[in-house]
Chain A
């Protein structure tokens, strides 16, 4: 039985319930807006949080049901671990990211690791990474990066995580994980030791190494893997390097990107999520929407040439704060396969690149401009 004049407590609890119900349909950015609005409303009533809860009603438009994300996953990437007693900072940073992800409530469906777990591909570095990642509560999917590979050509990584190229389906979305950092042999004729090969590949601006490729074998595999999918199937591809040609000097580049893009061309829309660039990076080429991942170790500067127009560059990191420009994040997957990409920068407000931004070629849902230029 409901009283005609509910008590203050009942009013409060009802408003609170309604508020949380409305929150379920919000992405993180709208949430910030709503929180600000609620604080303002509370202030207008002369109430100061947290003494009082500030109720707000959120209007829902018709397309919401379709627009609500079907599920979400979290990501961590590019931790570049050394042995813990050599460099504790990078290990601490990965532990922080694991802690961040473990405190997401509700938990994401899975956690994606974007490659470059180790700095020099050494077994003890990979083991340390695997050990830290074991603390994740959600299931883990791992991709390989060039720093994990070129010491023992993937032996230890394979023992820990399995084959680097695979695909899986999750809630109606097809996911593909590629090993996009295949380099042509530059080491044999130079007589390099495995460690020399590794340090050459580990240098971003080292011009001795070859450009990254997916390679003919994997392209054939990809073609076959996608064969059974209809053109409108939601499809998300993971690659360590961006699957397009951004800046060759730093291997922000996949040499056979055109061939891979040709395989993806028949689909209505494809999302490619890549590591390696350690920065907020957005691009769209035809039907393919590209999103970068943040690193937990350090941010890279933006490439001096070839920057995609859609990218809203993150603030120039403050060198005096080792965590600035680093972070982890979440990916909210919509039923049509497009995603809202959340960059959870550790030292800044989180930035969401909503699906509407790339879908409208940057005309709508424009992410907030960072407060400092990227320089």
Chain B
């Protein structure tokens, strides 16, 4: 007797459902519930190997290329009785994972734009990282500030646009464009832990 791939998938799917039911019932030790999870992960890896073009790894690839400072750790939300009387109810690990993944996408895409003259719309082969490796020397924590060279108060995005127009020689981004939001996300993320000191020169 032999099973085709469809039968394998069906068995795995059944195992997940059973595992989840058992896991939720909390009658068993976690082991039987995690075993199917490992199977799924394994299956996913196999699928990715067979379909390299459909497995979108841009987040992993960019994280391998450039240092991305991870966001704040929110695991304290899972401890104790934080759910009691909290307006948004109980947070689960799944919530935290979702937040981090969504946030990471924006920051990582910001890093891709930051490191690419093409994505910036530059015309002279210059990208942000050529003067600001790892977004250093961008000091976003000092904005807003009066920028004497511009003769007005500048937000971080004004300075980003100045750089895009001058050294990068591209077209200024709309202040609320996805590219600008991602660039800001990346630049701010790299300065995690630095005290906000707006107006500093």
Contact = CB atoms under 8 A, between A and B. Distances in A.
A82 B169 CA distance: 15
B19 to A, nearest CB: 37
Nearest to A252: B133
Interface in A300-359: 300-301, 304, 316, 318-320, 322
A250 B133 contact: yes
7 contacts: A86-B124, A87-B124, A87-B126, A207-B64, A250-B134, A301-B131, A319-B163
A205 B136 CA distance: 10
A72 to B, nearest CB: 31
Interface in A250-270: 250
Given A86-B124, A87-B125, A320-B149, A206 B137 contact: no
B167 interface: yes
Contacts of A86: 124-125
Nearest to B132: A301
Given A86-B125, A87-B126, A322-B167, A301 B66 contact: no
A208 interface: yes
Contacts of B124: 82, 86-87, 89
Interface in A77-95: 82, 86-87, 89
A192 B115 CA distance: 18
Contact of A375 (B64, B66, B139): B139
B67 to A, nearest CB: 6
Interface of A is mostly: loop
B39 interface: no
B65 A207 contact: yes
Interface of B is mostly: loop
A229 interface: no
Counting contact residues on chain B (CB < 8 A from A), the size range is 20 to 34
State the 4 A-B residue pairs at the shortest beta-carbon distance, nearest first.
A205-B133, A301-B137, A87-B124, A320-B149
Contacts of A300: 131, 133
Nearest to B125: A82
Interface string B108-149: 000000010000000011100111111011010000000001
B131 A203 contact: no
Given A249-B67, A319-B163, A322-B167, A205 B125 contact: no
A299 interface: yes
B107 to A, nearest CB: 15
Nearest to B200: A375
A87 B66 CA distance: 25
A239 interface: no
Contacts of B137: 301, 316, 375
Interface in B56-76: 64-67
Nearest to A303: B136
A175 B120 CA distance: 43
Nearest to B126: A87
A204 interface: yes
A301 B136 CA distance: 7
B129 A205 contact: yes
Given A208-B64, A319-B131, A322-B167, 14 more contacts: A82-B124, A87-B124, A87-B125, A89-B124, A119-B125, A200-B65, A204-B129, A205-B115, A249-B134, A250-B133, A300-B131, A301-B133, A301-B136, A301-B137
Contact of A203 (B64, B129, B136): B129
A315 B136 CA distance: 15
Contacts of B129: 203-205
Contacts of B166: 322
Interface string A203-216: 11111100000000
Max chain A C-beta neighbours (<10 A), residue from B129, B130, B133: B133
Contact of A299 (B64, B66, B115, B131): B131
Interface string B160-174: 001100110000000
A208 B66 CA distance: 8
Nearest to A87: B124
A205 B131 contact: no
A322 B131 CA distance: 11
A319 B66 CA distance: 23
Nearest to B122: A87
B201 to A, nearest CB: 9
Max chain B C-beta neighbours (<10 A), residue from A87, A89, A208, A304: A87
Given A207-B66, A322-B167, A304 B126 contact: no
A206 B66 contact: yes
A298 B125 contact: no
B66 to A, nearest CB: 6
Contacts of A322: 166-167
Contacts of B65: 200, 203, 206-208
Contacts of B139: 375
Nearest to B142: A375
